[in-house]
Structure 1
Amino acid sequence: MFSIDEFPDRTIAINGKEYLYFGGTSYLGLQTDAEFQSLFINNIKKYGTGYSASRKSNIRISIFDEVDAHLAEMIGSKACVTMSSGYLAGQLVCNYFSRPDYQLYYAPHTHSALFRDQQEIFLSWKELENAISQNSNKTPVLFLDSIDFHGENFPDYNFLKNLPLKDIILVVDDSHGIGITGENGGGSYRFLKSLSPKELLVSCSLGKGFGIQAGAIFSSNNMINTLKNTQFFGGASPATPAALATLKKSSSLIANKRMQLAVNIDLFLRNISNRSLFVFAEGHPTFNFKNEILATYLEENGIIVTNFRYPTENDSLMSRIVLSSSHTNEDILKLCNILNSFSRKS
């Protein structure tokens, strides 16, 4: 574990030594982008540093509804509601469906944002398919992550195609896809909707693809209105209005950052000699591996990557190389040279 004194950009300083940083989840590098920061600062002057009242209050700031509509159009859903975090968005959905008339199922590698306490997560899709087929009394609700970092879901979601989706409510955490994948960064909503589930809800963090501390839920008008009428939603403070306004006003910047990220991913893939080192999904900037020797080798050669046990110390080691829009050609080529050197030595 390393402690640093500022937000990690493409480089970080540890004990006086500079390293290239290929970790984290700042895929578009917005958090340290000067233009994005300037917009954020101006919006803070207009909307304040935070907003601790309920969205049910008799005084309501219009930016919430504006950004909900903006995001729904981008993602391709009928409606959207924003929350103060992606975790809270997932918990709102989970809380709503934790009722006797629903049976909850969790796909392999589902993020903890989508469940309460200790839920049974199926170790394989086949086990899950068998369990759903044996259920006849309750409406099945299936929770999963779009980007599961094991290459099983996004972009094709082949396992879903074996399920009777017309009878299943589908809840997908697209935190690592929104803003990055899909048409204009719309994530997986449009594709998942084309599979015709009984009902589709997509929840996400907006901190990874859009660089702000907030979350969102996308679904039908009826479902979003139902969630907004819960005590859970009414009792929660919303996202910071200044952050939401910055997201809305940064559309062109975000689009340019996304194009740069695609260029960086292509450069990386064209210059590494051994793609089999990694598990990755087409079009996504994360490259996952289970090789502690590789992580150590990268660090010894001036590169820090994501490498820790998640979400608890008892879980498996999570190691991945993460590309961002902030990385230069030189950064990526240096990384490729080191990886190629490791492959030759192995």
Structure 2
Amino acid sequence: MPTVPQDPFDWTDDAARLRAEAGLVRVLRPRPADTALLDLAGNDYLGLTRRPEVTEAAASAARRWGAGATGSRLVTGSTELHAELERELAGFCGFEAALVFSSGYAANLAALTALSAHGSLIVSDAGNHASIVDGCRLSRAETAVVAHADPEAVAKTLDAHPGRRALLVSDSVFSVDGDAAPLADFADVCRAHGAALVVDDAHGFGVLGEGGRGALHAAGLAGAAGVVATLTLSKSLGSQGGAVLGPARVIEHLVNAARTFIFDTGLAPAAVGAALASLRVLRREPGLADRVRIVARTLHGRLTEAGLTSARPDAAVVSVQAPAPEAAVRWAADCRAAGLAVGCFRPPSVPDGISRIRLTARADLTDQQIRTAVATILETAPKG
């Protein structure tokens, strides 16, 4: 008879030991309200998280509507503020309708599970975000993962499944290297095969397109037939939450079929109010989108001129290669010790096995802060 463990969670000790041996232990670091760290690790691309009109809008919404949404969107969790944000998001980005979720992760799960079915096909780019990967897994569709940013690979996969209901899903800007997907080519392939195109514009919205209207707007695909966008409110808009944008009939279908909408508590009014205020700032100040791209290109240019290997940024993400996983971890830690926060990507989080530090440009960075960041990265770079 097998031995019964004293505690059914004893196995987590073995898992923790294996993580430690592999150098993959994740640690929570609560940040203070005020810090001297120069932040190039977060996703506040437009520098709106602390804008006074944005924080005041969050506080005002909480005072008027309460601290929480009180229920799912279909019960008590929809406020007039939610509807206002949805109308303005759709109009700004050039889509017929929008639906707000509690996170960008929930928005991706909703789009992929509700717009596919058992027997259908999802074609997914190899570089897609974890939320897309999980959405594919939770759907009852067959998923085919294709080579990164390769329209020909997509076409071959769709050719192998003629007449089948199909959907191609891709990030607009990939979160590891910051490269942009060939959306126009993807759309051409989808049209030729009668497939839908779902694009996660988390890293493109607020950065690409006219005045930050997003990567789909830049590609001339906003509002196009067969095209759906998902995005987050937690990056360029500096708030929290997510949204799906597309044809009105698709949004109506999600209201009735998307489990992460039907069974999830609605986004808190404070986050809705902040996102709406940020969207209006972006509409008034379209130069914010231009500025964040300039900052990203400046960081990339100065680091590559100094001899570092960095992928050309198509939006706000600047990726800089490290020689090994341990070197990337040490590099990020040394930057932090010197007053600069940067991201760190290493296997198994990166599918290509290349370790990196990742910088996220911000529209509110001053020229002096850019110089400081570059100097810190160069001074702490792994030797040899």
> Matches of residues 126-205 of structure 1 in structure 2 within 5 Å?
126-149=152-175, 154=180, 156-157=182-183, 159-160=185-186, 163-166=189-192, 167-192=194-219, 194=221, 199-205=226-232
> Matches of residues 120-131 of structure 1 in structure 2 within 5 Å?
120-124=144-148, 125=150, 126-131=152-157
> Which segment drifts farther, 107-116 or 305-314?
305-314
| 2:316–2:360 contact (8 Å) kept in structure 1 | yes
What is the RMSD of the two structures over their aligned residues, measured on CA atoms? 3.4
For 1:320 and 1:200, locate their aligned partners in 2 and report how far apart those are by CA, in whole Å. Answer: 30
For 1:77 and 1:173, locate their aligned partners in 2 and report how far apart those are by CA, in whole Å. Answer: 14
For 2:348 and 2:207, locate their aligned partners in 1 and report how far apart those are by CA, in whole Å. Answer: 23
Q: Tell me the TM-score normalised to structure 1 length.
A: 0.83
- The structure with more radius of gyration: 2
Match of 2:58 in 1: 40
Identity among equivalent positions (%) equals: 18
Match of 2:277 in 1: 249
1:85: how far off? 0.7
> Matches of residues 288-307 of structure 1 in structure 2 within 5 Å?
288-291=319-322, 292=324, 293=327, 296-297=330-331, 299-300=333-334, 302=338, 303-307=340-344
1:262: how far off? 4.2
Match of 2:372 in 1: 334
| 1:149–1:288 contact (8 Å) kept in structure 2 | no
CA spacing shift, 1:185–1:262, aligned 2, 3 Å:
same
Q: Secondary structure at the match of 1:26?
A: coil
CA spacing shift, 1:159–1:150, aligned 2, 3 Å:
farther
- The answer to whether structure 1 residue 117 and structure 2 residue 137 are counterparts is yes
Match of 1:6 in 2: 31
Q: Secondary structure at the match of 2:49?
A: helix
| 2:171–2:181 contact (8 Å) kept in structure 1 | no
1:275: how far off? 7.6
CA spacing shift, 1:117–1:180, aligned 2, 3 Å:
same
1:277: how far off? 1.7
1:160: how far off? 1.9
Q: Secondary structure at the match of 2:231?
A: strand
| 2:296–2:360 contact (8 Å) kept in structure 1 | no
> Quick one: which of 254, 261, 268 aligns to 2:292?
261
> Which segment drifts farther, 65-74 or 44-53?
44-53
1:147: how far off? 0.8
| 1:295–1:305 contact (8 Å) kept in structure 2 | no
For 1:153 and 1:90, locate their aligned partners in 2 and report how far apart those are by CA, in whole Å. Answer: 20
Name the amino acid aligned to 1:300.
D
For 1:3 and 1:100, locate their aligned partners in 2 and report how far apart those are by CA, in whole Å. Answer: 38
Name the amino acid aligned to 2:206.
G
For 2:222 and 2:235, locate their aligned partners in 1 and report how far apart those are by CA, in whole Å. Answer: 26
Name the amino acid aligned to 1:329.
D
| 1:46–1:242 contact (8 Å) kept in structure 2 | no
Q: Tell me the TM-score normalised to structure 2 length.
A: 0.75
1:46: how far off? 1.0
Match of 1:15 in 2: none
For 2:29 and 2:119, locate their aligned partners in 1 and report how far apart those are by CA, in whole Å. Answer: 48
1:20: how far off? 3.1
State the Cα deviation string for residues 110-160 of structure 1 (Å, max 9, x = none).
122222438542234344332111111312100111111466962643652
Number of aligned residue pairs: 338
Name the amino acid aligned to 2:334.
E
> Matches of residues 85-100 of structure 1 in structure 2 within 5 Å?
85-100=103-118
- The answer to whether structure 1 residue 321 and structure 2 residue 359 are counterparts is yes
Unaligned 5+ segments in structure 1 are 13-17
Match of 1:65 in 2: 83
1:41: how far off? 1.4
For 2:104 and 2:111, locate their aligned partners in 1 and report how far apart those are by CA, in whole Å. Answer: 11
> Matches of residues 212-231 of structure 1 in structure 2 within 5 Å?
212-230=239-257
1:343: how far off? 8.5
Unaligned 5+ segments in structure 2 are 1-25
> Which segment drifts farther, 290-299 or 74-83?
290-299
Name the amino acid aligned to 1:285.
A
CA spacing shift, 1:294–1:90, aligned 2, 3 Å:
closer
Name the amino acid aligned to 1:189.
L
> Which segment drifts farther, 207-216 or 158-167?
158-167
For 2:178 and 2:289, locate their aligned partners in 1 and report how far apart those are by CA, in whole Å. Answer: 23
1:63: how far off? 1.4
For 2:258 and 2:112, locate their aligned partners in 1 and report how far apart those are by CA, in whole Å. Answer: 14
For 2:349 and 2:300, locate their aligned partners in 1 and report how far apart those are by CA, in whole Å. Answer: 31
- The answer to whether structure 1 residue 84 and structure 2 residue 102 are counterparts is yes
